[in-house]
Copies of this chain bind each other. A is one copy, B any other.
Amino acid sequence: MAITSERWIDPGRLQAQIDDLAEFGARGETGVARLVYAPEWVAAQNQIAAWMTEAGLRVERDTVGNVWGYLDGRQSGEPLVVSGSHIDSQNPGGRFDGALGVLAAINALAALRERHGQPERTLAALSLVEEEASRFSTANFWGSRAIIGRIGAEEPKRLRGYDGVTMAEAMRDAGLDPNRIPEAKRDDIGVFIELHIEQGPYLEQADLPVGIVERVTGYRQYLVTLEGEANHAGTTPMDLRRDPMAGAAEIISGVVNTAHRMGRPAVTTIGRIHAQPNERAVIPRQVSFTVDARSPLPGQRERLLARHEALIREVADRRDLTLSLRVDSDRRPVLADPVLVEIIAEAASEAGVPAMRMTSGAVHDSMQLAEIARMAMIFVRSRGGISHSPEEFTSTEDAADGTEVLARALYRLGYA
């Protein structure tokens, strides 16, 4: 609900590009399946490059396929001010996750150029190749990892997609040379601002179009394996069982309750579970499940993890189950740059876009780029908090509000 006399962003042009881009890999009415390096992805990335050129930006492609659109500044040699996101999607996902951030950056730079001409510092719109891991299960952040130099030398040959094709083959199919990945690494980025749909319900609940991300969640992901004794379901008395399913149920209930009682923004999820032998009439020998625990507040995250680990060990011990507790990934919360957060807040205020400061429970390319640049994020309201689904929806007005804030923040960074 913007209250300003004059807007820099044209909502119609932005919405038309959202709709046009959704044609590449369209699935059904509103779905998109645009997997990295697939033909529809190549066509979409070409369309992005064309829109950048149309916006008066100087287009470059790097060696992994990221597309950069520069609005060159008067001062050369200054660190770049970059905004963007990714154009690949879940399989299928929706029209907004990733794509909106790329189009917002292009539309913001187009508006700045039209309205204010050449900036002092070089601004860039960035269309990253891959974030979703929807074709290669462990490829995620392929584009941003290439930029920060975090792609392993063996990954192109080792990663194999759900379609059986290796990453190296997929890159060659898209006209790229996997041996040249290291050339995509950069050290000239000063600022990275990512606009993204929220992927959660907080903005909708607050009835606000825009959020300013102050911190991105930290998490730890465990694989818990409990081993007991397989036995006949009919003949083994309850008091003599070492039943890992009963132990798993107690742990799952416990960790979910712990996170719930700790209160927002702590969350804990059990997404995967497997029993062995997984037979109806056999007490399982082994049950394994994942625990994904997150909080953007460093102290809360540590408390949450400590309580989870204590509970898991206590239950396994009391039930005489053999425990394997494996940490599969662990990431501390990442803070957005406080100066950037203030600049974005001032930009929102100037644009008359009501916004709140918030935390991100999801992980984004910006967390990778935070390793080499000052980082911030702008969230845009997403209906029902739904993402990774054809049901994703963000209104034209909200998308334009977010882009307006982005444009005015980039103005402060590039023209002042």
Seen from chain A, the residues whose Cβ lies within 8 Å of a Cβ on chain B are 198-202, 217, 219, 221, 231-240, 243, 245-246, 248-250, 252-253, 256, 259-260, 264-275, 278-284, 287, 290, 292, 294, 328, 360-363, 385-388
Residue in contact with A294 in the complex, picked from B233, B272, B274, CB distance below 8 Å: B233
Which residue on chain B has the smallest CB distance to residue A198? Answer: B235
Q: What's the minimum C-beta distance from A405 to chain B, rounded to whole angstroms?
A: 20
The residue of chain B having its C-beta at the shortest distance from the C-beta of A246 within the complex is: B256
Asked whether A269 lies within 8 Å of B283 as measured between CB atoms, the reply is yes
Interface centre among A233, A283, A292, A363 (most CB of B within 10 A): A233
How long is the Cα–Cα vector from A173 to B378 in the complex, in angstroms? 70
In angstroms, Cα B77 to Cα A9, docked, is 100
Tell me the bound Cα distance from A200 to B202 in angstroms. Answer: 54
* Interface contact A273-B271, CB-CB below 8 Å: no
Known contacts A250-B253, A271-B284, A272-B278: does B239 contact A260 (CB below 8 Å)? yes
Contact A361 to B272, CB < 8 A, known contacts A245-B252, A253-B250, A281-B292: no
Assuming A275-B272, A281-B271, is B292 touching A233 (CB within 8 A)? yes
- Please determine whether A237 and B201 come into contact, CB atoms closer than 8 angstroms: yes
A232 CA to B360 CA, complexed, in Å = 12
Given contacts A272-B279, A275-B271, A278-B272, contact A236 B201 (CB under 8 A): yes
Given contacts A284-B271, A294-B233, contact A238 B266 (CB under 8 A): yes
Please list 23 pairs of residues, one from A and one from B, whose beta carbons are closer than 8 Å in the complex, sorted by A's number.
Answer: A200-B237, A201-B235, A201-B236, A201-B237, A221-B280, A232-B361, A232-B387, A233-B267, A233-B271, A234-B360, A235-B360, A236-B361, A237-B267, A239-B260, A239-B264, A245-B269, A249-B252, A269-B281, A270-B284, A271-B275, A272-B280, A273-B274, A280-B292
Most chain B CB within a 10 A radius of its CB, from A202, A236, A269, A388: A269
With a CB–CB cut-off of 8 A, which chain B residues contact A272? 275, 278-280
Of all chain B residues, the one with the shortest Cβ separation from A234 is B361
Partner of A282, one of B198, B231, B271, B273: B271
Point out the residues of chain B lying under 8 angstroms from A362, CB to CB. Answer: 232, 234-235
Q: Contact check, B252 vs A238: say whether CB atoms are below 8 A apart.
A: no
Q: Which of B201, B235, B282, B287 contacts A240 (CB 8 A)?
A: B201
A253 to B248, CA, bound (A): 9
Note all chain B residues with C-beta closer than 8 A to A245. 252, 256, 269-271, 273
Residues of B with C-beta under 8 A to A265: 237
Nearest chain B CB to A53 CB, angstrom units: 35
Q: Decide if A290 touches B294 in the complex (CB within 8 Å).
A: no
Q: Nearest Cβ distance between residue A113 and chain B, in whole angstroms?
A: 34
Min distance, Cβ A347 to any Cβ of chain B, angstroms: 24
Question: Judging by beta carbons under 8 Å apart, are A256 and B249 in contact?
Answer: yes
Q: Measured between alpha carbons, how far is A299 from B363 in the docked complex, in Å? A: 54
Most buried by B among A219, A234, A243, A267: A234
Contact of A246 among B199, B240, B253, B274 (CB under 8 A): B253
- A-B CB proximity, top 5 nearest: A200-B235, A234-B361, A249-B252, A233-B269, A235-B361
How far is it, in angstroms, between the C-alpha of A137 and the C-alpha of B270 when the chains are bound? 31
Which chain B residues border A246 with CB–CB below 8 Å?
Answer: 252-253, 256, 270
A247 to chain B, nearest CB (A): 10
Interface centre among A200, A249, A279 (most CB of B within 10 A): A249
Find the B residue at minimum CB distance from A294.
B234
Q: How far is the CA of A249 from the CA of B240 in the complex (A)?
A: 21
